[in-house]
């Protein structure tokens, strides 16, 4: 089908995950059901850490930043920069033209922000007796640092800001880019999310919540015991379709619709109502029916409450068609990158559309009657996919859902 000039097109993808430092490596691992959640290599687990696994990035990331400038970058910003570089390169964009630069946005979500520099400062103060912290502590740790650095590096001069809404941060940032294009405020938007929570203090804080899996992440399986934290980022280039066509860019797919709601309930326990309304708003926004949806990349954290609630949400929205939809949680492979997860999962949805492959939910051992969907257990499968939906449901009851459609 032909995409309308006023539609929002996806023209570039980038990601940096526990499965690989780029899209093709990550996607290849997803298709093969590779687990990127492994025993820590770079974190000292002898320092009173009970959890010893997570999704570490396999190779060092410098995002092409000169060494002399690296002290201005926290790890979560470097991951976002590397992912943005990939997406912008694939889209074939350069922002040297003032008209393009002024009509381009960069909006990046982050859940935990820059705890690397903060923890380093605390250690120097309390363990080493230091009297001052790193001069770049404030600009490195701020939630807007990834968007600002990408903007400065590439010369993006339109709307530039950070978004933070816990695990929905990336999807909210993507929605903001979608809305900027739809409203006419931008022709191009570099959007997504990033986080780097594999830091001792952050891990200890998550341990206290008692939601971390001790060995592996098994979403929707009866044996699931929790989520696995991971570093990671995912960034996409959105573009007004007419603008993309005019410059001869390849349109990967259409970002067809978005939906956002709040539970207004409990700080950590999800509801059925809020996520259901977000999915319904997304379908209406895209002008599609429940029967049009072929694949759902679930929020699928691997906790008892999340997976059972999300199953109820999907059945509530799709009724009997829920049994015909392929569902999977790619977090079982790349881990939960918090504010970065939605960006990674949108990349997975676009690749699924492109290749007609449903990535699996790995580590699946035993069916759970409360999670009675086709969750694509352990092995990817081929399927013609016209519409895919990506769910993000966060602490605080903030929900953001995206729908992509073949162009």
At 247, list the tokens: 């410059």
At 341, list the tokens: 């997860």
Site of tokens 């997975």 = 348
Secondary structure letter of residue 76 according to DSSP: H
Find all residues with CB under 8 Å of 143, minimum gap 6, and list them.
110, 113, 162, 163, 164
Find all residues with CB under 8 Å of 247, minimum gap 6, and list them.
92
pLDDT of residue 312: 98
- Asked whether the predicted pLDDT for residue 1 surpasses 70, the reply is no
The answer to whether 167 is a known catalytic residue is yes
The answer to whether 349 is a known catalytic residue is no
Find all residues with CB under 8 Å of 392, minimum gap 6, and list them.
167, 168, 170, 171, 172, 299, 341, 342, 345, 399, 400, 401
β-partners of residue 387 are 405
Please check whether the two domains, 8-246 and 258-405, share a CATH topology. Answer: yes
pLDDT of residue 397: 97
Which residue among the candidates 167, 217, 349, 371 is catalytic per the annotation? 167
pTM of the model: 0.97
The answer to whether 336 is a known catalytic residue is yes
pLDDT of residue 350: 98
pLDDT of residue 246: 97
Which among 13, 185, 20, 196 has a CA at the least distance from the CA of 103?
A: 185
Which residue among the candidates 299, 334, 349, 371 is catalytic per the annotation? 299
* Among 16-30, 34-48, 193-207, 317-331, the least confident range: 34-48
Domain spans in the chain, listed from the N-terminal domain onward: 8-246, 258-405
Q: Provide the strand spans (E) within 40-147.
A: 53-54, 104-110
The runs of H, that is alpha helices, within 217-340 are 241-246, 273-286, 304-318, 331-334
Q: What percent of the chain has pLDDT over 90?
A: 91
Which residue among the candidates 35, 282, 336, 371 is catalytic per the annotation? 336
Rounded mean pLDDT of 260-269?
Answer: 96
pLDDT of residue 193: 98
Fold classification of 258-405 (topology level): Peroxisomal Thiolase; Chain A, domain 1 (3.40.47)
Give the model confidence (pLDDT) of 297-332 as tens digits: 999 999 999 999 999 999 999 999 999 999 999 999
Residue 132: pLDDT band with limits 50, 70, 90: confident
- Cα(163)–Cα(14) distance, integer angstroms: 18
Q: Is 391:297 a contact under the CB 8 Å cutoff?
A: yes
Which among 294, 296, 318, 304 has a CA at the least distance from the CA of 368?
A: 304
Q: Is 348:8 a contact under the CB 8 Å cutoff?
A: no
At 87, list the tokens: 């997406």
Residue 44 CA to its chain's centroid (Å): 27
Give the model confidence (pLDDT) of 74-118 as tens digits: 999 999 999 999 999 999 999 999 999 999 999 999 998 888 888
Class (C level, CATH) for 8-246: alpha beta
Which among 114, 112, 116, 175 has a CA at the least distance from the CA of 148?
A: 114
Give the model confidence (pLDDT) of 283-302 as tens digits: 999 999 999 999 999 999 99
Q: Pairing between strand 398-405 and 253-262? A: antiparallel
- Cα(321)–Cα(34) distance, integer angstroms: 29
Which among 270, 203, 330, 245 has a CA at the least distance from the CA of 7?
A: 245
In order, the DSSP letters of 361-393 are B-S--SB-TTS-S---BSS-EE---SEEEEEEE
- Asked whether the predicted pLDDT for residue 182 surpasses 70, the reply is yes
Q: Is 213:302 a contact under the CB 8 Å cutoff?
A: yes
Q: What are phi and psi of 95, to 5 degrees?
A: -105, 25
Q: For helices 169-182 and 341-355, what crossing angle results, to 10°?
A: 70
Long-range contacts formed by 225-228: CB under 8 A, 24+ apart: 225/302, 226/301, 226/302, 226/303, 227/301, 227/302, 227/303, 227/331, 227/335, 227/336, 228/37, 228/53, 228/54, 228/55, 228/302, 228/331, 228/335, 228/336
């Amino acid at each position: 089908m032909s995409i309308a000039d006023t539609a929002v097109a996806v023209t570039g993808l980038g990601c940096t995950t526990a499965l690989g430092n780029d899209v093709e490596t990550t996607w290849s691992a997803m298709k093969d059901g590779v687990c990127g959640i492994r025993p820590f290599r770079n974190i000292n687990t002898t320092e009173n850490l009970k959890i010893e696994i997570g999704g570490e990035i396999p190779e060092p990331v410098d995002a092409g930043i000169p060494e002399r400038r690296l002290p201005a970058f926290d790890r979560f910003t470097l991951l976002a920069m590397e992912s943005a570089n990939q997406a912008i390169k694939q889209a074939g964009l350069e922002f040297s033209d003032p008209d393009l630069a002024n009509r381009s946005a960069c909006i990046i979500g982050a859940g935990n922000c820059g705890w690397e520099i903060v923890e380093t400062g605390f250690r120097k103060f309390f363990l080493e007796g230091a009297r001052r912290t790193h001069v770049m502590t404030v600009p490195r740790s701020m939630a807007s640092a990834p968007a600002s650095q990408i903007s400065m590096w590439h010369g993006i001069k339109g709307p530039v800001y950070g978004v933070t809404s816990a695990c929905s941060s990336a999807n909210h940032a993507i929605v903001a880019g979608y809305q900027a294009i739809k409203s006419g405020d931008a022709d191009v938007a570099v959007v997504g999310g990033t986080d780097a929570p594999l830091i001792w203090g952050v891990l200890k804080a998550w341990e206290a919540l008692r939601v971390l899996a001790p060995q592996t992440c098994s979403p929707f399986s009866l044996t699931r015991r929790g989520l696995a934290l991971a570093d990671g980022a995912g960034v996409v280039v959105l573009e007004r379709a007419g603008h993309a066509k005019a410059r001869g860019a390849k349109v990967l797919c259409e970002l067809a619709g978005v939906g956002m709601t709040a539970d207004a309930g409990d700080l950590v326990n999800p509801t059925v109502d809020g996520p259901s309304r977000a999915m319904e708003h997304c379908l209406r926004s895209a002008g599609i029916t429940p029967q049009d949806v072929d694949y759902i990349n679930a929020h699928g954290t691997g906790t008892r409450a999340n997976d059972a609630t999300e199953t109820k949400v999907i059945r509530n929205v799709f009724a009997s068609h829920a049994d015909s939809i392929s569902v999977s949680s790619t977090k079982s492979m790349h881990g939960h990158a918090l504010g970065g997860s939605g960006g990674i999962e949108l990349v997975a949805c676009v690749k699924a559309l492109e290749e007609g492959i449903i990535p699996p939910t790995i580590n699946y051992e035993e069916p759970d009657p409360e999670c009675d969907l086709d969750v694509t257990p352990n092995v990817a499968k081929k399927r013609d996919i016209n519409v895919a939906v990506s769910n993000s449901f966060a602490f605080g009851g903030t929900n953001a859902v995206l729908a992509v459609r073949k162009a």
